[in-house]
Structure 1
Amino acid sequence: MSLTHTAQHPTTVGPALLVPLVVGWCYLAAALRQREPDRAGWSHWRTAAFATGCALLATALLLPVEGFAAHMWQHLLLGMLAPLGLVLGAPGTLLLRTVDRRFGRAALRALGHPVARTLLHPVTGLLLTAGGLWLLYLTPLYRATFSSSALHDLVNLHFLLSGLLFTWSIAGPEPYRHRARVPVRLVVLGAAIVAHASLAQLLYAGLLVDVPASPEQLRSGAAVMYYGGDLAEILLALALLASWRPQPRRVPTPAAASAVT
């Protein structure tokens, strides 16, 4: 029988499923610790968001990947929806409240390094997420994942990590002095929408893509990417707008005003 009808991705669900369980347990333990009398407390909404992200990640790992549409659902959960919940849980802030202050100060200094600033820029996240998708479906890479469980797991890990990076760079709740301005983030998010929609149209038409699937499967998977991606990006835009705090205008002091005149 042809690869189009029989190919399924190899899975290693067991060990991978421990990741959301362990991460979720550690987050909950740290959040409960913040409720001690000598601490500032922690938002229930943040905890609920992070728990939702862990649940979506576990769902993606448990989802039977049979057919291209199911694969696309897994990608949507891994690369877009689960990262949104995890990022809105503000795990970075919770971590800094939990660890030793010296470690926290060192981490903040590292985030100010030029390499970190470049990595955390939304354009970098866009290139890794959208660029990774175009590379996966327009080259033999997707076909190669059927014969290598390690490669398949690496691809999934890439989309999870790049999704976290992109989501945080767009709507991360933690204060970051080098974060791109809101107009820049909105433009990058718009570019991501265009990139996803364009690739979905190519998949729907079966043009230029290297995917071992029937035309019906391609159209089903493209529909998941198009409409599911729109939903995830709308939620991301809402998260960005909800976390946006306009910078107050600086009123010049009399001394400064006299110096200008």
Structure 2
Amino acid sequence: MDTTHHHGESDTGLPGAALAALVLLAAAVGYLLAVRRARHRNPAQGWNRWRAASFLAGLALLALALLPPLAPAAHSDFRGHMVQHMLIGMYAPLVLVLAAPVTLLLRTLPPAWARRVTRVLHSPPARLPAHPAVALALSTGVLGLLYFTPLYNTAMGHPAGHWLMNAHFLASGCLFAHVIAGPDPAPARPGVRARLVYLGIAIAAHALIAQAMYGGFFVDIHAPIDQVQHGAEIMYYGGDIAELLLAAALVATWRPERRPGPPAPSTVHRRSGHFPARAGSRR
């Protein structure tokens, strides 16, 4: 473990913070306009207010991670980086996904465009990353590559690399949360038991990476040892809490499949051509 800390060029100045704030504001306005359009097109069905609140909460978590004072700390202190990682890669994706943005989009698009989007979502290129194994590899498996190779130091040494790393955290976190517990349609989503297995693998992988980081095994992070150990603790406990919340979301959004029961006796007799005899009648 390298005890030096390479700061690189700062990417957390006023232009970067202003751009992040504008993007988040545009996302909030776009979602709220889509909610208004959905309610206007179908007043009876409307749109769940809790979903809208969930989306705004997710944007608030992203703002906390991408704006000062946390953003400068994330660039200069590994503990700040890990807090930012937890917010961008685990907590914000969960509440953003629970807002069902794809469902909202399909309700607001014209029917022809909605059918096109649905075909894209059902296409093989879209189904592949939506498989839990692929989503797990992109969200959790990449962490080993990031912290046990020079990739983290390279990314932190360049502003573009830092932004790309955060973008990956957000995209992969949203993908995994969507696959495990998202309310939006997912054609490649397996059953609840399989999703719980993948979630358990993610919990175990996060714990192993955090423990290896704390012990300094194969870690390639240019930061003081105490910062790396504190960052590992944040990852260990913060990751457990986030994954427990994801498991709770899975249970809350799970709907058991209804199996058709046996047909009523009258239906059976109608189909077979025989009818039950009335009481007191003779054969």
Query: What is the TM-score of this pair, normalised by structure 2?
Result: 0.85
- 3-state DSSP of counterpart to 1:119: coil
Q: CA deviation at 1:214?
A: 1.5
Question: Which consecutive unaligned segments of at least 5 residues does structure 1 have?
Answer: none
3-state secondary structure, aligned to 1:241: helix
Partner of residue 113, structure 1:
123
Write the deviation string for residues 198-233 of structure 1: whole angstroms up to 9, x where unpaired: 000011111101001112111110011001001110
1:14 and 2:24 equivalent? no
| Counterpart-to-counterpart distance in 2, 1:38 and 1:115 | 32
Contact 1:8 1:67 in 2 (8 A): no
Secondary structure (helix, strand or coil) at the match of 1:145 reads: helix
Please tell me whether residue 46 in structure 1 is matched to residue 51 in structure 2: yes
CA RMSD of aligned residues (A): 2.0
Matching residue of 1:83:
93
Secondary structure in 1 matching 2:156: coil
Aligned to 1:238: 248
**In the alignment, is the contact (CA less than 8 A) between 1:10 and 1:152 conserved in 2?**
no
Give, in whole Å, the separation in 2 of the partners of 1:18 and 1:110.
29
**1:27 partnered with 2:49:** no
Q: Highest Rg: 1 or 2? A: 2
Aligned partners of 1:130, 1:38: CA distance in 2, in Å? Answer: 40
* CA shift in 2, pair 1:150/1:6, >3 Å: closer
Identical columns (%): 49
Task: Tell me the residue number matched to 2:134.
Answer: 124
Offset at 1:142?
0.7
Corresponding residue to 1:162 among 172, 191, 207: 172
What TM-score does the superposition give when structure 1 sets the normalisation length?
0.91
Note if contact 1:170-1:240 (Cα within 8 Å) is conserved in structure 2: yes
Within 5 A, what are the aligned runs for 1:68-217?
A: 68-217=78-227
Cα separation, partners in 2 of 1:109 and 1:159, compared to 1, 3 Å: same
- Partner of 1:36: helix, strand, or coil? helix
Alignment gaps of 5+ in structure 2: 273-283
1:55 equivalenced with 2:65 (yes/no): no
Q: How many residues align?
A: 255
For the residues of structure 1 that align with 2:115 and 2:227, how far apart are their CA atoms?
50
SS in 2 for 1:15: helix
Q: Tell me how far apart the structure 2 counterparts of residues 73 and 210 of structure 1 sit (CA, whole Å).
A: 19
**Counterpart position of 2:280:** none
Q: In structure 2, how many angstroms separate the alpha carbons of the residues matched to 1:52 and 1:149?
A: 26
Which segments of structure 1 move beyond 4 Å, counting only runs of 4 or more? Answer: 252-255
